[in-house]
Amino acid sequence: MITTTNLSSRNWLGPYRVFAIFALMVLTLLSLSRIGLLLWQWPRVEGSGDLGWMLLQGVRADLILVGLLLAVPVLLAPVLALPKLFKFWRGFALIWSLIALTLVIFIELSTPSFVAQYDIRPNRLYIEYLKYPKEVFSTLWQGFRGPLIGGTLLTFLLVWAGVRVLGAQAKQMRPFSVLKLCLTWPLVVIVVFISIRSTFDHRPANPALFAITSDSLVNSLIINSPYSVLYAAYSMRYEARSSEIYGKLDEAQMVKLVLDWPWLKNYEFKNPDYPTLHQQQATVQRDKPLNLVIVLQESLGATFVESLGGVPVTPELEKLKSEGIWFEQLYATGTRSVRGIEAVVAGYYPTPAQSTVKLANSQQNFTTVASILKSQGYQTQFVYGGEAHFDNMRGFFTGNGFSQIVDINQIKQPKFVGSWGASDEDLFNTAHQQLQQLHSSGKPFLSLIFTSSNHEPFEFPDGRIELHEQPKNTVNNAVKYADWSMGQFFQQAKASSYWQDTLFLIVADHDNRVYGSNLIPLEKFKIPGLILGADVKPERLNVLSSQVDLVPTLLSMMGVSACHPLMGRDLTLDRTSPGRALIQFDQYFALMQGKELTILKPNQEVQMASYDESQQKLHLLERPATQAERDKALAQVQMPAFLYREQKYKSDVGCGAN
């Protein structure tokens, strides 16, 4: 029987002994991991600041994590750590600590692979991908087999060591008397509270507080991966008000600033309940509106297009660009496929929340190009080489205007199937057959074709292209194969009956990897865009543009007038006024106008910067943002969150006043 008499002087930690040793183990492991990661990225760390200060701030972030992991057992201590329940408390303390230790070790050991792919510590993407274990495991097994096996083995070894150490400490743990437990418990709570809050300012610490350099990767290395993931999970609870991390404008001011762009001046916004709803009149008048085919290219950033300063692995795209309207200054809104989908397909501005493709309030009656065109008699379909449920695409599309979904289950006898589904040539062959069938019906159509071959682990069939480099399964080779497949498709399309009646858009969802030493790696947001087909005349478009500008432009070129809430720019109507780009990078939002950016940070001062594209360098400016600059940027990121939350991004309510 456990008693509180004749306790050793070594029992000063009492019922908290296991947790104290656990805390020391976690702090040691995370510090060693951080040092290793900083040394790995030393060329970028060296020029970013004081290493000692970074390590000190890292320990501060680690203490936040330890406090979060210990909060629950500490709060339960007055009930469970009593002498009469101490046997249960001992087992609870050991199991809790081992589970927490396992999670810390596993997430931290997976960090190098995540950094190699995303150039940042694990964040909300780490959580989102857990929903798709089949695709994720296949990608890891094919592309990261060594790190996966090694990390798993090392996790087991470290956890086994943790079991030995913490198990021994649990056996030595002794209870406090009831009086001593009651007297010491408030002190322990205060220590944990201070550890979690980590500051005496009016707001508690968050990952943005540790952004002390101009390099986003280095900033993320200062903290630790479990804390980054936990904070991302916490933030996801507030998706509907996600933009409020930057501040808040009143509704009237927000609406005024969002609509204060030259290309929106000629529209009438008559419905006060739907502030962005307006009638867009097509600038091109046609007896019969054109069909529309959107080729959404997976991860095709400007870094793979020679004429945009990239690697020469897209010769087919380079040939096609002379046949249509080629975007020289087009920027993606984010770093994920679903972010590209919401911008290209729905014309929707980015927010710090998940893409609206995944959010509950946008699964029905949310405006997309498909819902606009379907209301005007168009046949609408989505064609994908993988499984359409991935990233909730099937649910979002079917609820918002897409009548037909064609995925790997409808692709007959594919020539090659990889981790992400059928190859791009199988996809495009199927798409061509589908377009022929749609055209034969005599009704106009929309088809969204989404590629996947240019995706880790970069699998594609042999014998199709002359490899750009060795070994075979690299991103440059995968891009070249995807480009070849697209080239084959357009050869078929030009010879088809539907070519003259169809407008085609080729655009990327995002770049392959968004990385770099800039606070926002803007060079990795630049993407190619090309509109061709039908009667399109060749043109180089050099105005700064965003993915959200594409649908309004396409509608005008197709001859489709429509009532909708899209806030993008119709580039057939206005090509002279300065443009803008909207960038969401992790927890940062940037409004780019010309070469200057207004960067919003969570619960921090606004940062002004200028971008030197020739050097691909973002220069942080010392001058503070004006109130007008801050409010203009804040309105752009606050409005989409407002439209989502209040369910006002609809086009089926009419453009007149109620």
Phi/psi region, residue 421 (left: phi>0; alpha: psi -120 to 50; beta: rest), is left
Q: How far is CA 356 from CA 209, 277, 346, 389, in A?
A: 27, 18, 9, 15
Query: What are the sequence ranges of the domains in the chain?
Result: 9-241, 291-575
Model confidence at 240, pLDDT cuts 50, 70, 90, reads low
- Distance from C-alpha of 298 to C-alpha of 272, rounded to nearest angstrom: 38
Q: Examine the pLDDT at 36 and tell me if it is beyond 70.
A: yes
Q: Which fold has domain 291-575?
A: Alkaline Phosphatase, subunit A (3.40.720)
Model confidence at 155, pLDDT cuts 50, 70, 90, reads confident
- Distance from C-alpha of 334 to C-alpha of 644, rounded to nearest angstrom: 18
CB atoms within 10 A of CB 318: 17
Predicted local confidence at residue 587, as pLDDT = 86
Average pLDDT over residues 376-395: 92
Q: How far is CA 412 from CA 102, 415, 422, 492, in A?
A: 44, 9, 10, 19
Model confidence at 9, pLDDT cuts 50, 70, 90, reads very low
The pTM of this model reads 0.81
Nearest-5° Cα angle at 293, 288 to 295: 165
Give pLDDT tens digits for 608-629: 999 999 889 999 999 999 999 9
- Distance from C-alpha of 111 to C-alpha of 404, rounded to nearest angstrom: 39
Which 3 state secondary structure label does DSSP give 555?
A: helix
- Distance from C-alpha of 296 to C-alpha of 369, rounded to nearest angstrom: 14
Least reliable range by pLDDT among 6-15, 132-141, 221-230, 284-293: 6-15
Predicted local confidence at residue 606, as pLDDT = 95
Average pLDDT over residues 47-57: 86
Give pLDDT tens digits for 65-104: 999 999 999 999 999 999 999 999 999 999 999 999 999 9
Peptide bond into 640 cis (omega under 30): no
Q: Examine the pLDDT at 238 and tell me if it is beyond 80.
A: no
Task: Give 215's Cβ-side CA count (13 Å radius).
Answer: 21
Predicted local confidence at residue 7, as pLDDT = 39
For the chain, what percent of residues have pLDDT higher than 70?
96
- Cβ–Cβ under 8 Å, residues 359 and 644: yes
Residue among 72, 74, 58 at smallest CA distance from 26 = 58
Residue among 373, 403, 380, 393 at smallest CA distance from 564 = 373
Least reliable range by pLDDT among 214-223, 310-319, 370-379: 214-223
Residues 6+ apart with CB under 8 A from 497: 436, 439
Average pLDDT over residues 549-562: 97
Looking up tokens 């437990």 gives: 181
Q: Examine the pLDDT at 170 and tell me if it is beyond 80.
A: yes
Predicted local confidence at residue 658, as pLDDT = 42
Least reliable range by pLDDT among 117-121, 368-372, 563-567: 117-121
State which amino acid sits at residue 360.
A
Predicted local confidence at residue 202, as pLDDT = 66
